[in-house]
Structure 1
Amino acid sequence: MKATLKICLSLLILLSGFNSGLQAQSITWAEIEPGVWKGITGKLDAFDLVKAAGIKPLHNELQQMPKAGFPLPQQEITAKQTDGKTYLRFPLERSEQLFGFGLNFQTIFQRGKVLTLHVDNYAGKDNGRTHAPTPFYVSSKGYGVFINSARYLTVYAGTAVNRDSKTPPVIQDRNTDKNWSSHPYSDAVEILVPAQGAEIYVFAGPTALDAVSRYNLWNGGGCLPPRWGLGFTQRVQRLTDAKGVEDEARAFEEKGYPLDFIGLEPGWQSKSYPCTFEWDKTRFPDPAGLVQRMLKKNIRLNLWTNPYISPQAPVYQHILPYTASHTVWNGAVPDLTMEQGRKIFFGELEKGKIDIGICGYKMDEVDGGDTYLWPDVATFPSGHSAEQMRQTYGLMMQRYTYEIYHQRNQRTFGLVRASNGGGSSFPYVIYNDYYNHQDFITALVNSGFSGVLWTPEVRASKTAEEWLRRFQSNIFSPMAMINAWASGTKPWTFPEVAGQIKTLAALRMQMMPYWYSEFARYHFKGIPPFRAMYLEDGFSASGDSKPTKKGGLEENPYEEAVSKEVKDQYMAGSYLLVAPMFTGEQSRKVILPKGKWYDFYTGKYAGDGEVITVTPGLDKIPVYVKDGGIIPMMPAMLHAPKNGQKVDLEIRYYGEKPGEYQLYDDDGETFNYEHGEYSFRTIKILKQNGGIKGTLSPAVKGKPDNVGKVTFKMMTE
């Protein structure tokens, strides 16, 4: 009888498995760094995002993060396998909001979305196909989840309703219920991984910013650009020759506009689309001489390229055995996972380019376009799938060019069209051909959730107003850049606002000590230099997007405002809130988090935990400083300070409460900081007797010291 019962029970379980088609799998968890857990289920792919990026966590910095326990009910994270695929499920509370899932351009809140995370050029819809579809999400509850897979993941971010859910939605009758919804409540994030297993990472808080910081530190820390990378850059027209480059630099100097590096577009190569990777001898007869002449003027050169090799390229026959079955624009696609192919390909980027002083690269067309990029039916000699290569190609282009510069102990800062999870430490900024100013700001807000940098670059404008408005937000971004490859625009193209543009460009240079210190925080602390308001104290976001009522909504405009997507203002560094203006706007609303805030330009009190309406005029972008804010400034210069160059500082203080700031210093050009050759000097300011008392801790003996005369300025009277 017992034997029969066991057989029946076994058959029932077996039939249940056949009916569902899913085989439950255990997840093996291990804490690999403080507050970072790795979970493994099933059979893992041999190639993934972590391997493509070559991640090296910053262990010492992670050790300094606050201790935290596993932030989710571990038993409620489940995995199942069927048909060679893995189904992951993560619990989701009703009050949670979700952020991340890559570089989105139109939405901040991701709860309720279905996304296919697929590297592609952005086509105007937040559906997961984007330049950096990072499989990392952050919860308003203060934790993050990363799926280490180089596959096209499908995400159901609180949309799917499980039949056996612990908290099922209320059953509604559409016939009689006016509040019936086609999107019932879901209590889970579910992710389909098209592979036989999955590697999962969970990052604890306790805050959402802590989770993001742990993720960035685990990825090697945020990038630390050279000082000159935070200056101003101009990309010249497509077929500009050597004389045109020198004329451009001369015009900037004569007109008094700052310039740190010039970008050369496809015309520097003898042929492009596909590329030969050799200098065009008619336009650039002496590239080494040009580079040296520009360096003497403190201006560097950056080169555009895509990775597709022309049959007329000198290396074509040599690299052919290490390329894909399909071409892009008739160009061979190198298999960057193969050492032999990498040696040939990246050797071309070094030989006669980096080794003559080229400062970096703009790596184009590594993102997508299904009608011209390699198809998913393509094969690569390494055996890695076309899908995996699509998801990691931008990562590998960044990694291996960066390694060339690292081996030379020379920092770089460049541009790329695609990235992914694992790319936080690479000194590249994402750009694209989509040109919507408002969406550019939303992308800048989202970049902080995804471990990438984004520039709202300026290309062209229809009016002087648009030109100025775009330029204003551009200087409060990771890379201040005009990309004139097609338009030929200059900062002075619109004479009626040329003066305002020059003032803004000068402001970018004046703020370099602040920007540089904030990027040091990104590297050593993992804190994104540009990030969403939802990572700032005093802001909140709940999953049901309903304001907390303390009466009518009329009595709580702040609660109503923060319950909606805030995608047109952002934090820039430790203290600044930036609220861009767009063409046609005379005024706008700004949501100030709880705590006192002050106008950046005047120091006047602006508000505390409230929504204000501002009318700044055409000349200014609204910027606010939190109470106790300290902004170190230097004199406006045409070029970033060189290694060893002493720079005077004016340290501006805002508000009432005591302020403290960590001013970062190193040589600004090399990787010597990785060996301890840097310092954080403490600035302290107290308000007393109608004035302020400010101090800067002494320079550390034996460390770089680039600080000259220091003065303190009280901005708030």
Structure 2
Amino acid sequence: MIKKHLLPLMLLLLNTYFAQAQIVQEVCPGVFKITLGKPDTFTPERFREELPQVSALRQLPAGKLPFNLTDIKINFNPRGTIIELPLSGDEQLYGFGLQMGSFRQNRLRKVPVVNDYPSNDLGYSHAPVPYYVSNKGYAVLVNTAKYTTFYCGGNQPKQGGPASKNNSSDTTKLTVQDLYNSTATSAGNMLVDIPGVNGIEIFVFAGPDMLTAVQRYNLFSGGGAMPPLWALGIKYRVKADFKDTDVYKTTDYFRKKQLPISVIGLEPRWQTAAYPCSFAWNPDFFPYPAKFIAQLKSQGYQVNLWEHAFVSSSSPIYQALLPQSGNYLAFNGLVPDFASAKGRDIFAQYHQDKLVDIGISGFKLDECDNSDLRFGSARWSFPELSQFPSGIDGERMHQVFGLLYQKTIYNIYKKLNQRTLLDVRSSGALAAPYPAALYSDTYDHAQYVEQISNTGFSGLLWSPEVRESSSFKELARRSQTAILSAQTLYNSWYLQNPPWLQFDRDKNNKGILLPDAEQNEATIKKLLNFRMQLIPYLYEAFHKYQQDGYPVFRALVMDYPSDEHVFEVANEYMIGKSLLAAPIVGGADTRDVYLPSGNWYNFNTNEKYTGGKSYRVNFKLDDIPLFVKEGTILPLAAPIQFTDNKTVFHLTCSVYGKKVDNAYLFEDDGISFNYLNAKCNNIELTIDGAKVKMKRKGTYVQKRYVIDRTTIIP
């Protein structure tokens, strides 16, 4: 038996041993791994599906860090692992995944833990990532699936010597807020607390600037996601109890009114059981699934199915998954062991044979986060103490469950050489290659905009879906945000009619439409048509994301890391290289917009603004809340209702300013992974006098782009 008085000495000797054994490796260009002790078996990096894009990493500027890697301290104690990373006093910190309620993370205590209803600024999230990025030009990933706490500066260790005169205040506090207000200062290092582990890996991504550091993170993950062309259109989820005949009525309405809807999503009732899931078609609602899908595809629609991963005893895969699942249930269904290749294979093979092979183009992967940790009554998911055949426990499984669920479904399509875009309610670290847009049951519009900015730091995509609203004005404002995001989605799972015809839920379901429904429809149609016009620009931006790790949607601070005016700007964001989005939330018709250095144009009026200033700007309900950077060639397509393998985009190229940079387009079949084998074209757009011309380079034969006209905007 070890005597208690010897325990501190033994821990000191243990720390000394591990400090000597600390290993630092440059595992990819500009990516450094620090290893101490024996790392966990189940980590995000070990579950990574795609290999790092080493050739693309080599093309980035030489890596640079504002500190020495030896300044990172790792210690073990009876609690677990403690990491201390250097911070400077003027450093601005961001990241931690899909964060709600916070943007700049300085001086906060962040606990990036998966939770089905994120709130406040603690870090609970649908997509927690133990990772942060600094405007000083680097990013850090702590490679763990344990529940981890980050203290983002402000914690001062005690000092020896005489007592400081400034460590207390003689001022009497007269309010509770003043009494408990944080005393954290801007000084102090990043502290990371990982209970229950005695080994860790840390990945450090060098800049030299903030955007390059994020590119390295995305490329190390395997490169950004590349969705199919059709996924850049509009998705509409129908009411949960719709039968095939109800769906036909809705899709016929869209085509009759020339509303550009590309994807139809079916909600839970398509199955014989949904909580938990059977994954078997409900014959009373969809008696001929293959015929139903074929009918919709003949009208230009893709079909997406809602599900979650918990398996009903009535499911055809129940018996096969019984030994390949956790020892506790969720929603009274089996929890597949997605950490096991065998568990993933059983789940995936059924989906391929029964659903994908008859034409299902994607899935909505629901409930793959944890039940709400804010309330003791929230108990629908499996407990953290669960055990799985692979050896992973419930805590770590919760943190990676959404990632592994995406991996399981995505690999079906990849094996079939088909691209997809999934909906998912949980994700995590190193998820950039997965074509999956996050969503949430929360519905705060301001937070939905903020999350577009936040996800760009962490290799994630976010869908600020539109449901019902308190007014048509709110619905239009939410639609303006949706068309300027990774996925434009209307979720009408409890609405009989589209929400622009009646925003009130009860009246909608009774068929009582708004008196100005037709006018509202025209407003929404204009917004949706702009989304379809933007597809060529977005497709190129996603190609750059896949190839170079360059985030499509990102906060202004990533492009302007030294501009203190954007350090806390989360309600504006960049789209690609040249567009700045500034949605309006709430009931106002105007908002303040800060435009960074350079000159910018209001997309709606072509009014020119000098950067480095804030402006009060008005946007009507059918306007596009967008600014274009001077020097841009912006290719916009004539609106179409959907895309297919024969689609040709007829472009109007708007040229903003006199000194113009070349622009680019990406051309391929739009649906397969053949572009990875060079079956594609890269198109360069150049200004020649008063016209924009195209120069193709590549082997793809079909021409998807034709320039109809050029507009010069001085």
1:177 deviates by 11
- Determine if the alignment matches structure 1 residue 359 to structure 2 residue 356: no
CA 1:321–1:173 in structure 2 vs 1: closer, same or farther (change >3 Å)?
Answer: closer
Which residue does 2:599 correspond to in 1?
596
- Determine if the alignment matches structure 1 residue 57 to structure 2 residue 55: no
Distance in 1 between residues matched to 2:638 and 2:558, nearest whole Å? 31
Distance in 1 between residues matched to 2:650 and 2:159, nearest whole Å? 66
Distance in 2 between residues matched to 1:33 and 1:251, nearest whole Å? 52
After TM superposition, the structure 1 = structure 2 runs for residues 505-516 of structure 1, keeping only pairs within 5 Å, are 505-516=528-539
Given that residues 467 and 499 in structure 2 are in contact (C-alpha distance below 8 angstroms), is that contact kept between their aligned partners in structure 1?
no
Deviations 1:34-67 (A, max 9, x none): 1111111111111111122324111111111111
Which amino acid letter does the alignment assign opposite residue 709 of structure 1?
A: V
Pick aligned residue for 2:96 from 101, 126, 129 = 101
TM-score (norm 2): 0.91
In the comparison of the two structures, how many residue pairs are matched?
680
Pick aligned residue for 1:145 from 124, 140, 163 = 140
After TM superposition, the structure 1 = structure 2 runs for residues 84-123 of structure 1, keeping only pairs within 5 Å, are 85-123=80-118
- Determine if the alignment matches structure 1 residue 394 to structure 2 residue 402: yes
Which residue does 1:695 correspond to in 2?
693
Which residue does 2:416 correspond to in 1?
408
Could you say what secondary structure the match of 1:249 adopts?
A: helix
- Mean CA deviation greater in 169-178 or 147-156: 169-178
Distance in 2 between residues matched to 1:399 and 1:216, nearest whole Å? 16
CA 1:236–1:20 in structure 2 vs 1: closer, same or farther (change >3 Å)?
Answer: farther
Pick aligned residue for 1:437 from 432, 438, 445 = 445
- Mean CA deviation greater in 67-76 or 281-290: 67-76
Which amino acid letter does the alignment assign opposite residue 547 of structure 2?
A: F
TM-score (norm 1): 0.91
Given that residues 603 and 715 in structure 1 are in contact (C-alpha distance below 8 angstroms), is that contact kept between their aligned partners in structure 2?
no
Q: CA RMSD in A?
A: 2.4
1:466 deviates by 0.6
1:705 deviates by 3.8
Which residue does 1:605 correspond to in 2?
608
Given that residues 117 and 153 in structure 1 are in contact (C-alpha distance below 8 angstroms), is that contact kept between their aligned partners in structure 2?
yes
Distance in 2 between residues matched to 1:381 and 1:609, nearest whole Å? 57
Which residue does 2:427 correspond to in 1?
419
Which residue does 2:456 correspond to in 1?
448
Which amino acid letter does the alignment assign opposite residue 182 of structure 1?
A: T
Distance in 1 between residues matched to 2:576 and 2:295, nearest whole Å? 35
After TM superposition, the structure 1 = structure 2 runs for residues 543-692 of structure 1, keeping only pairs within 5 Å, are 561-562=565-566, 565-640=568-643, 642-685=644-687, 692=690
Which amino acid letter does the alignment assign opposite residue 64 of structure 1?
A: Q
CA 1:406–1:171 in structure 2 vs 1: closer, same or farther (change >3 Å)?
Answer: same
Distance in 2 between residues matched to 1:297 and 1:185, nearest whole Å? 58
Which residue does 1:5 correspond to in 2?
none
1:79 deviates by 0.4
Pick aligned residue for 1:706 from 682, 703, 706 = 703
CA 1:70–1:14 in structure 2 vs 1: closer, same or farther (change >3 Å)?
Answer: farther
Give the percent of matched residue pairs that are identical in Structure 1 and Structure 2.
34
After the TM superposition, which segments of 4 or more aligned residues of structure 1 sit over 4 Å from their partners?
Answer: 12-24, 176-181
Pick aligned residue for 1:470 from 478, 481, 502 = 478
1:82 deviates by 1.6
Deviations 1:169-194 (A, max 9, x none): 99344016999972234321111123
Which residue does 1:545 correspond to in 2?
none
1:144 deviates by 0.5
Which residue does 1:501 correspond to in 2?
524
Could you say what secondary structure the match of 2:478 adopts?
A: helix
Distance in 2 between residues matched to 1:683 and 1:177, nearest whole Å? 66
1:71 deviates by 4.2
Distance in 2 between residues matched to 1:562 and 1:427, nearest whole Å? 29
Which amino acid letter does the alignment assign opposite residue 593 of structure 1?
A: P
Could you say what secondary structure the match of 2:113 adopts?
A: strand
Given that residues 264 and 301 in structure 1 are in contact (C-alpha distance below 8 angstroms), is that contact kept between their aligned partners in structure 2?
yes
Distance in 1 between residues matched to 2:70 and 2:172, nearest whole Å? 36
Pick aligned residue for 1:155 from 150, 155, 158 = 150
1:434 deviates by 0.3
**Gap runs ≥5 in structure 2:** 374-378, 503-516
Deviations 1:374-424 (A, max 9, x none): 011211122111111101110011111111100100111110000000111
Distance in 2 between residues matched to 1:78 and 1:16, nearest whole Å? 19
Given that residues 681 and 698 in structure 2 are in contact (C-alpha distance below 8 angstroms), is that contact kept between their aligned partners in structure 1?
no
Pick aligned residue for 2:544 from 510, 515, 521 = 521
Which amino acid letter does the alignment assign opposite residue 187 of structure 1?
A: G
1:539 deviates by 5.5
Which residue does 1:267 correspond to in 2?
269
CA 1:538–1:328 in structure 2 vs 1: closer, same or farther (change >3 Å)?
Answer: closer
Which residue does 1:25 correspond to in 2?
19
Which residue does 1:536 correspond to in 2?
559
Given that residues 232 and 535 in structure 2 are in contact (C-alpha distance below 8 angstroms), is that contact kept between their aligned partners in structure 1?
yes
